[in-house]
Amino acid sequence: MGGRMVNRLLDNGHSVTGYNRTRSKAQWLIDRGMKWATTPREVCAAVDVTLSMVTNTAALEDVFHGPNGMLAGLGPGKVLVDMSTVSPAVSTALAARVREKGADMLDAPVSGSVITLEQGKLSVMVGGPAEAFERVRPLLLDLGPKVTHVGANGLALVMKIATNLSLAVQMLAFSEGVLLAEKSGIKREVAVDVLTHSAIASPMVQYRGPFVLRMPDEAWFNVNMMQKDMLLALELGRKVDVPLPTTAAANEMLTAARAMGFVEQDFAVIFEVLATMSGVTK
């Protein structure tokens, strides 16, 4: 996702300096004109606005701290826009460290997939100071048409977690419907076609529902990443006293998927877990 964002920024005429732990993964962007930096610190020192996207909270802290971390390269007038889905509490604490250096930090996770990004339909939610948001808003609009300031630091992450928990819950409910129809005598292909054109056909169901017929060769969002977000949701639910029963159920199915060796597959593999439990094979 991060690489494709860089590609879109280059398409829109932006000068981009980038870093990845594995340079070979960024070579196609270097070939397109992205300037290469050897450390996160070097990126932040070279630009006014830094966008970061990493896999989890631990990875964010790893690239943030230390002599070659992002914080070391930040200073007055600079803005760090972290687009990772991580712990709101940790992100808020990091934002306070950034402000101590005279810079600003925004949490700006995205809603969408690689497909929606390539179609120019990505949605970005942003938490942090309003002035910093207005400064980077034009840049974020080059990534997608919907950019929303939701409040203070950490609140965009809360909104992203509140959004993502529904992805696994919807996929589980969709799988239940397909299998109920299939075991009653309706062909799987027919059930998928009807459901993806019915009242329950959210955008997520429309583009991920067909995965129950054929899983993608490369995961759009794997089990490991999805469960990370579900655990963030359950943690937040406990903190603010909101019970999340459907989130908990979907999370258990993701645990089963891990146990069955599906961790690197798209989280739509929840269907295969439920199918196995139902005694259904292709």
137 vs 230: CA distance, rounded Å = 28
> What's the mean pLDDT in 206-232?
93
Kindly state the tokens that stand for 252.
Answer: 């258990």
Cβ pair 79, 135 in contact under 8 A: yes
pLDDT in tens, 162-217: 999 999 999 999 999 999 999 999 999 999 999 999 999 998 899 899 999 999 88
Residue 114's pLDDT is 67
What's the whole-number average pLDDT of the chain? Answer: 93
> What's the mean pLDDT in 235-264?
97
Q: Which of 121, 160, 183, 239 is catalytic?
A: 160
Residue 12's pLDDT is 87
97 vs 214: CA distance, rounded Å = 46
> What's the mean pLDDT in 91-117?
89
Cβ pair 53, 34 in contact under 8 A: no
User: In CATH, what number does 158-277 get?
Assistant: 1.10.1040.10
Radius of gyration of the chain (CA): 20
Residue 196's pLDDT is 95
116 vs 109: CA distance, rounded Å = 14
Residue 226's pLDDT is 96
Residue 143's pLDDT is 87
Residue 118's pLDDT is 67
Residue 254's pLDDT is 98
Name the residue among 58, 65, 112 with its Cα closest to residue 87. Answer: 58
Residue 22's pLDDT is 87
101 vs 86: CA distance, rounded Å = 22
- pLDDT at residue 60 above 80? yes
Whole-model pTM? Answer: 0.88
Pairing outcome for strands 79-82 and 123-127? unpaired
Assess whether 101 carries a catalytic annotation: no
- Concatenated DSSP letters of 162-210: HHHHHHHHHHHHHHHHHHHHHHTT--HHHHHHHHTTSTT--HHHHHHGG
User: In CATH, what number does 2-151 get?
Assistant: 3.40.50.720
pLDDT in tens, 105-164: 999 999 876 666 666 678 899 999 999 999 999 999 988 889 999 999 999 999 999 999
Boundaries of every domain in the chain = 2-151, 158-277
Residue 181's pLDDT is 97
Residue 230's pLDDT is 97
- pLDDT at residue 70 above 90? yes
Residue 116's pLDDT is 65
